[in-house]
Homo-oligomer: A and B are copies of this chain.
Amino acid sequence: MPDLAALELLLAVARLGSLGRAAREVGITQPAASGRIRSMERQLGVALVDRSPRGSRLTEAGALVTDWARRIVEAAEAFDVGAQALRDRRDSRLRVAASMTIAEYLLPGWLIALRARLPDTAVSLIAGNSAVVAGQLLGGQADVGFVEGVGVPAGLDGVVVAQDRLVVVVAPGHVWARRRVPLGAAELSATPLILREEGSGTRAVLEAALGALARPLLELSSTTAVKSAAVSGAGPAVLSELAVGEELAARRLVRIPVEGVRLRRELRAVWPVGHVPVGPVRELLSLTRGAP
């Protein structure tokens, strides 16, 4: 498996049309770039770039590989911006406190977009539940927060920035994967499901929407664990749409349509009452408005 730096180099070559220029962009010398690309081609067993005395162009296979690589590099960029926010807890100009779900799935994308607009704004991130977020804001340790669930914590103002829908998913092998009729509320509430433990946000929403729930098939302590169990065919699970996007795209999970149930919760940006968002906070909010 080639490493991240090599993939970035490949993207640079694709964009700039020359090994040497790509090398300069990623901060290495031309022979180093030449060698890296070659060793990558050896690893993959396919020629990736056509060298010519007046530049380098991607081959067919190279274009394909590059597009796959781009996805890795983009995920790495999200990781990087998130990690940086986690690290820079000191004297950041924009301090964000966010719930886990938001920090995990939405924030990196927002931060990448924010960096495009305000490249020099250092951002710091603290992740925690609603109470933690409220505490950070009221204690003056954060400038803006993001929470999920019903209502705004006391002492805070807020706006809805996104909707989180819960979806019912099963592994592709499950009988439900073949059904074409939407699931009804009655049937859903009568079926044992894979769920988070009692008290979790998603479970609360589900219980509120359905009233009674059948005894869970499995109770697990993290979203990831629920997802893995569902992927491996243990049974149907109910999860945030945000959490299963990749799995649905890759067909590791299949979404089962549901009708007659309202499985949404609001994701809100919040700030202390009276603090009208200005500056970087305002900028960040303008990015999030209308997000999925």
Interface residues of A (CB under 8 A from B): 1, 3-4, 44-46, 60-61, 63-65, 67-72, 74-76, 78-80, 82-83, 86-87, 100, 103-104, 108-110, 112-113, 116, 127-128, 172, 222, 224, 245-246, 248-252, 254, 287-288, 290-292
For the complex of A and B, list the 8 residue pairs with the smallest distance between their C-beta atoms, beginning with the closest. Answer: A109-B250, A45-B87, A72-B75, A68-B79, A71-B75, A67-B104, A75-B75, A44-B83
Residue in B65, B76, B245 whose CB lies within 8 Å of A86: B65
Using CB atoms, name the residue of chain B closest to A128.
Answer: B60
A172–B72 touching, CB < 8 Å: no
How distant is the Cα of A42 from the Cα of B248 in the complex, in angstroms?
35
How distant is the Cα of A70 from the Cα of B250 in the complex, in angstroms?
14
CB distance from A86 to the nearest CB of B (A): 5
A112–B252 touching, CB < 8 Å: yes
From known contacts A245-B249, A249-B109, infer whether A76 and B72 are also in contact, taking CB-CB under 8 Å.
yes
B4–A44 touching, CB < 8 Å: no
Q: Given the complex, which residues of B lie within 8 Å of A69, measured CB to CB?
A: 79
Q: Given the complex, which residues of B lie within 8 Å of A72, measured CB to CB?
A: 72, 75-76, 79
Interface of A is mostly: helix
How distant is the Cα of A64 from the Cα of B78 in the complex, in angstroms?
12
A292–B249 touching, CB < 8 Å: yes
B4–A71 touching, CB < 8 Å: no
Q: Given the complex, which residues of B lie within 8 Å of A87, measured CB to CB?
A: 44-46
From known contacts A3-B3, A251-B288, infer whether A79 and B71 are also in contact, taking CB-CB under 8 Å.
yes
Q: Provide a sorted-by-A list of 30 A–B residue pairs whose CB atoms are within 8 angstroms.
A: A1-B80, A3-B4, A4-B4, A46-B83, A46-B87, A60-B128, A61-B86, A61-B127, A64-B82, A64-B86, A64-B104, A65-B86, A67-B104, A68-B75, A68-B78, A68-B79, A68-B82, A68-B104, A68-B108, A69-B79, A70-B224, A72-B75, A72-B76, A109-B249, A110-B251, A113-B172, A116-B252, A245-B249, A249-B292, A251-B288
